[in-house]
Amino acid sequence: MARLRGGMEFPAGRLRQIAAPPPRLSATPVVMHVRQRPEVHTGQHVEAGQTVCESRMSGRGNRVSPFEGVIARMELLDDDADHKTYELQIICDHRETPTSISVDLPSGRKLTNWLRVLSRIDPWAEHDGGVGLRSQLESAKDRRPDTVMLNGLDRFASFPDSSSLLASFPDAAAAGLRLIADLVEAPDAVMVVAKDMQIAGQLRSDCRRHSIRLMMKKNTYPTAHPSTLAWVALRDARRLSPGVNPISQHLLMVNPWTAIRLGRWLESQRLDIVRPMFIGWPEPDSHMTVRYALPGQSLLRLHDRLEQCVNRSTMQVLLGHPMNGRKLFSSGSEVDPYDVLVPEDELLLTCLAMDAPAVGQVQACISCGWCAEVCPTRLRPAEMYRLCKRGGPADVLLPQLNWCLDCGLCSYVCPSSLPLTQTFRQMTARFERILK
């Protein structure tokens, strides 16, 4: 069991190696959300890799059909003047869905050539450095990074999604990281992994072959957050504000699946369109389950036990880790779990009992200092909480909220059960509305 100060416990999932290559998937309708009006129409036949929406947003590429199929439905979901969202449903023409598409590699390692190809085959994870791979590469044209870092630490060590990816595809991860470093002409390529990782020997060999520096850090949550990792892992301890493009600090950051996807593309000239989805179960020391998933599939179809969770009055399903993962659904939820789709970015689902971690009755702050002790960015959450309750002042509170990682540690160690993280989220949203 993973234990935090204050007695909160979470079940620990074990490292899980993935069988490669991925199995072919049963044909299924896939839903895509796009930000501009689609270039296709209902009933149109599309080929694998065909553009269905041409992006006009900086840092985002075109959206393409993941397979050969038919546009079954196209609907405008949000008609806000500054933000239109369309939903497309594509039905595969075949009984099985392919797991990769054929994409020719750009010639050489010139950044502009690769960006031209990458812009046709979005999405690339926005978890890369908190802003996305393409946003960083676009910025690197004007401001070259001196370091490219693969963040191989798990955001919650009990559920080793990043570690499992690196354990399964060590050479592909190293090859993909080397490619990115060459594209931006960065002199230093670094792979950061947990000290106790089981495959350190294999990674060390692959990193040496690709001229990558392997760095082993104690995986203390939430070290894996880009802001914290840039702070504690680099020699010069540079600070990276949450949500800011790492290129502003001459740093480019990627997650393991991005590097692996690029490395596998280099090897086969086929680009993965499905990816692993890890499922952490509530039993102590249980093995995680991994399922290959196509973004836009029904999430409940990944595993029978997810459907069973819907019918159990004590279960909830979170997207991400149990500290601050977004709740997708739980028993009695207003959200129809069958309408919840596999997301484009997250790799982890966590199934927990609805009363875990236990939250006691809210009491007065006892000034124990635990919240400040565990805060990874050295904030003073109890003092911030009091300022939030008073509504400001904004010039004092807003800079502190901008450094909050929303990790949830302060809430989970608080012996008075103060809703610290929830209050900070509400106050941040309030300031965002005021500043618009």
CATH number at residue 174: 3.40.50.11540
Same domain, 165 and 251: yes
Same domain, 159 and 285: no
pLDDT tens for 138-185 read: 999 999 999 999 999 988 878 889 999 999 999 999 999 999 999 999
**Among 39-43, 195-199, 245-249, which is the least confidently predicted range?**
195-199
Same domain, 127 and 267: yes
Residue where a domain terminates, one of 298, 328, 353: 353
Phi, psi of 169 (to 5 degrees): -135, 55
CATH number at residue 35: 2.40.50
Secondary structure E strands in 286-382: 289-293, 315-319, 326-330, 348-353
CB atoms within 10 A of CB 335: 11
Q: Give the mean pLDDT of 295-317.
A: 80
pLDDT at 96 over 90: no
pLDDT tens for 70-85 read: 999 998 887 665 667 8
What CA–CA distances, in Å, run from 111 to 23, 148, 217, 248? Answer: 32, 14, 31, 18
Question: Can you tell me which residue has the tokens 């689609």?
Answer: 38
3-state secondary structure of 61: coil
Same domain, 209 and 174: yes
pTM for the model: 0.87
Instruction: Tell whether 19 is covered by a domain.
Output: no
Instruction: Tell whether 55 is covered by a domain.
Output: yes
3-state secondary structure of 10: strand
Instruction: Tell whether 16 is covered by a domain.
Output: no
Same domain, 414 and 313: no
- What is the radius of gyration, based on Cα positions, of the chain? 22
Same domain, 160 and 261: yes
Q: Give the mean pLDDT of 29-47.
A: 88
What CA–CA distances, in Å, run from 233 to 147, 191, 215, 435? Answer: 12, 10, 8, 34
Same domain, 137 and 267: yes
Instruction: Tell whether 253 is covered by a domain.
Output: yes
How many residues are recorded in the chain? 436
pLDDT, residue 327, reads 81
pLDDT at 57 over 70: no
Residue where a domain terminates, one of 213, 244, 271: 271
Same domain, 293 and 203: no
pLDDT tens for 396-423 read: 898 899 889 888 888 888 888 888 988 9
Same domain, 235 and 346: no
Residue where a domain terminates, one of 228, 244, 271: 271
Average pLDDT of the chain is: 85
Instruction: Tell whether 108 is covered by a domain.
Output: no
Total number of domains in the chain: 4
Question: Can you tell me which residue has the tokens 């594509």?
Answer: 90
Same domain, 144 and 278: no
Instruction: Tell whether 394 is covered by a domain.
Output: yes
Same domain, 217 and 266: yes
Instruction: Tell whether 61 is covered by a domain.
Output: yes
- What would the two tokens of residue 266 be? 């280099």
Beta bridge partners of 279: 289, 349
- Enumerate residues 6+ apart whose C-beta is below 8 A from 360: 417
Instruction: Show the DSSP H helices in 184-329 as ranges.
Output: 200-209, 226-233, 256-268, 304-310
3-state secondary structure of 272: strand
Instruction: Tell whether 154 is covered by a domain.
Output: yes
**Which stretch of DSSP H or E encloses residue 411?**
helix 409-413
Distance CA 80, CA 299 (A): 28
- C-alpha dihedral sign at 79, 81, 83, 84: positive
Mind giving me the DSSP string for 66-109?
Answer: SSSEEEEEEEEEEEETTEEEEEEEEEESSSEE-SEEE-PPPSTT
Structural domain harbouring 201: 123-271
Distance CA 59, CA 432 (A): 22
CATH number at residue 336: 3.10.20
Same domain, 93 and 188: no
